Amino acid sequence: MILCIDFVFEDMMTRQEEEDENEINNKVHIKPNWKRDISSIFLLMVLYLMQGVIIGITVSIPLILQSKGVSWKQQGTFSFVHWPFSIKLLWAPIIDSLYIKRFGRRKTWLLPIQLLIGLIMILLSFYISSLLNTKNILVLTISWIFLYFLTASQDICVDGWALSLLSNENIGWASTCQTVGQTIGIFIGHVLFLTFESIEYSNKYIRKLFSIIEKPSGIISFSNFLLFWGSTFIIITLLIALFKNEKSHKNDEDDDDDNKRTNNYSLVETYLAMFKLFKKPCIRELTFILLTQEIGFAATNFMTNLKLIEMGVKQELLTLMFTPLILIKIFIPLCISHWTSGSKPLSVYIYCYIPRLFTSILIAIFVYVTPVFQPFQWYYYLIANILFGINETFISSMIVAKVAFNAKISDTHIGGTYMTLLATIANMGLSLTRTSLMYAANYLTWKTCIIHKQQNMSCNTDENKNQCISFNNGTCKIEIDAYTII
C-alpha cells in the first residue's frame, strides 16, 4: 500500500506541475519569509485555536461518558458528532461563492458563524451537566452535532481565508498555523478542562497547595467552561469585525486579475469545478487512499483512552499523562515546516506511515498488559509517554504534510472548497472508521455476570448490568475484549 501511496502522490505532483508549468516558468521562486505575514499567521492561529477548543471539548466528552459506564454502542452514537467535518463539502461551495462584497468573501460567513457558535455554547452551558448525568446520549449528540456543523463551517472559512491572507511563498504556513493553533486549543479544551474539572485532582493538588478548603467540585465546571468560551467566541469575533480588513496578499500586478476571476465563479460554477476534480484519475486514487488510511490505526486512535479508563486509569491522570504530547504537536510542525513548504510535502507522510503502524502495535500490546502494572507507578506513565510520544510524532508529521499538500495544490478561486474537498475525504475516512469501530466493538465484546465467583448470566446490555449488580452486588467481567480483537 505504501508503494501505491508513493506512486499516487508522485503522480499527482507531476500532473499538477505539468498543468501549472507555464505559470511557474513566468514566476521567480521566492523563499518563505514568515515575518512578512506575521499578523496573518497570528490571526490564523487564534482562529484555529478557537476551533481546537471545541474539538478538545468534544474529545473530552467520550472520556466523561466512559467514566459514567456507557456502552461502546452509546459511544458509537456520540461519534456521529464528528460527521459534519466529513460532509462539509456539501455546503462548502455556498460559503465559497455567496458573500457580501462589502464585508468580504470570508468575513461574510465567518462573523455570523462564530457569533452563533458563541451563543450556542452559552446556551448549552445551562444543560450540559444534566445531559451527562442522565446519560441522555441522543439529545447530547444532536445538540453537539449542530455545534460541530458550525465549527466545520468556520473551518471552511478559515481554510479559504488562509490562502489569501498568506503570501504565495508562505502558503505552507497554513498547515503550521492549523496544527499549532488547533493543538493549543485542544490542550485547553481537553487536558486543562478535564484536569481542573476533576474533584480529586482539584482538592488533592490545587486546593491543598494553596490551603483552600476542599469542595465537592472541581476548580472549574463544564457549565462555566462552556460559558467562558462562548463569551470568548463572541468577543474575538467582534474584534475581527472591527479591526481586521479582508484583503489579499497576492502580487499587486495580479490583484485585479485574481479578483475578476474570483468574482466570476458563481455557486453553480463552484460546484461544477468541485465535481470536475473527480475526473482526474489522481484525485480518485487519492480518495481511495484517504478513505482507508486510518484502518490500521483505528483501535489505537479511537479506543485506547477509553480502554485505559475502563482498566482503572483515572480520567484526570490520563489527560495529564498526555500533556507532554502537546509539546510534540506544537514543535513538530515548526521543525518539519522546511520539508512541508517544499515541492513534495507528502514525502514526510510516506516516510511516517509504516513506523506509525509498528508503533500502533506496540501501544496495543502495552494496553493489553496494563492490568499487570496495577497499582500504577511512575514507570507505567513513563513507558506510556514514550510510546505515545513516538506515535504522536508520526501523527503530527503526517497531518502537517497532508494539509501542506492540500494548500499547495488548491485553486485560490475556490480555495475553501478545494481544501475542504481534500480534507473532507480524509475526515470521511476517519468518521467511517470511528463509528464503525465503536458499533463493532459493542458486538465483539462479551461480558458475563459474576456472583459468588460463578458465571450466572450475560452482562452485555445496561439492563443485564443493572440486574447483575442488584443480585448480591454481582460484577460484570469481560470474557472477550473487542479492543484486543480489533
The C-alpha atoms of residue 299 and residue 280 are separated, in whole angstroms, by 33
Sign for the CA dihedral angle at 208, 212, 218, 220 comes to negative
The C-alpha cell 519569509 sits at: 33
C-alpha cell at 303: 479506543
What is the reported pLDDT for 251?
43
* pLDDT one-digit tens code per residue, 328-372: 877 887 788 777 766 677 788 888 889 999 999 999 899 989 888
What is the reported pLDDT for 32?
57
Mark whether 265 and 345 lie in a shared domain.
yes
Mark whether 326 and 463 lie in a shared domain.
no
Q: Is residue 268 part of a domain?
A: yes
Instruction: Report which of 172, 149, 166, 153 is spatially closest to residue 84, judged by C-alpha positions.
Output: 149
Mark whether 381 and 479 lie in a shared domain.
no
Q: Is residue 14 part of a domain?
A: no
Mark whether 363 and 461 lie in a shared domain.
no
| Neighbouring C-beta atoms of residue 363, cutoff 10 Å | 19
* pLDDT one-digit tens code per residue, 303-328: 888 888 888 888 777 877 777 887 88
* pLDDT one-digit tens code per residue, 138-149: 999 999 999 999
What is the reported pLDDT for 31?
59
Which range has highest mean pLDDT (228-242, 257-271, 339-353, 448-462)? 228-242
Compare 393 and 243 and report the one with higher pLDDT: 393
Q: Is the pLDDT of residue 24 over 50?
A: no
Give the count of alpha carbons within 13 A of 152, CB side only.
Answer: 25
Q: Is the pLDDT of residue 55 over 70?
A: yes
The C-alpha cell 451527562 sits at: 132
b/e per residue, 189-219, with b = 16+ CB within 10 A?
Answer: bbbbbbbbbbeebbbeeebeeeeeeeeeebb
- Percentage of the chain with pLDDT > 90? 23
What is the reported pLDDT for 290?
81
Residue 6 pLDDT grade (very low, low, confident, very high; cuts 50, 70, 90): low
Q: Is residue 13 part of a domain?
A: no
Spell out where 165-277 has E strands: none
- Percentage of the chain with pLDDT > 70? 80
Q: Is residue 27 part of a domain?
A: no
Total domains in the chain come to 2
* pLDDT one-digit tens code per residue, 169-217: 777 777 778 878 988 899 899 888 988 888 888 888 788 777 788 888 8
The domain spanning residue 387 has which CATH number? 1.20.1250.20
Mark whether 392 and 481 lie in a shared domain.
no
The C-alpha cell 481565508 sits at: 161
Q: Is residue 212 part of a domain?
A: yes
* Phi-psi map region of 453: left, alpha, beta (phi>0 left; psi -120 to 50 alpha): left
Mark whether 479 and 413 lie in a shared domain.
no
Mark whether 149 and 179 lie in a shared domain.
yes
Q: Is residue 391 part of a domain?
A: yes
Mark whether 364 and 453 lie in a shared domain.
no
Neighbour-count burial of 133, counting CB atoms closer than 10 A to its CB (0-12 exposed, 13-18 middle, 19+ buried): exposed
The C-alpha atoms of residue 392 and residue 325 are separated, in whole angstroms, by 7
Mark whether 454 and 351 lie in a shared domain.
no
Domain that holds residue 174: 36-444
pLDDT, mean over the chain: 79
Compare 105 and 475 and report the one with higher pLDDT: 105
What is the reported pLDDT for 225?
95
Q: Is residue 89 part of a domain?
A: yes
* pLDDT one-digit tens code per residue, 419-464: 667 777 888 888 888 888 888 888 787 777 776 655 666 676 666 7
Mark whether 331 and 474 lie in a shared domain.
no
Compare 461 and 4 and report the one with higher pLDDT: 461
Do 92 and 420 meet the contact criterion of CB atoms below 8 Å apart? yes
Q: Is residue 216 part of a domain?
A: yes
The C-alpha atoms of residue 186 and residue 198 are separated, in whole angstroms, by 17
User: What is the full DSSP assignment across 158-170?
Assistant: HHHHHHHHS-GGG
Mark whether 274 and 236 lie in a shared domain.
yes
Mark whether 94 and 110 lie in a shared domain.
yes
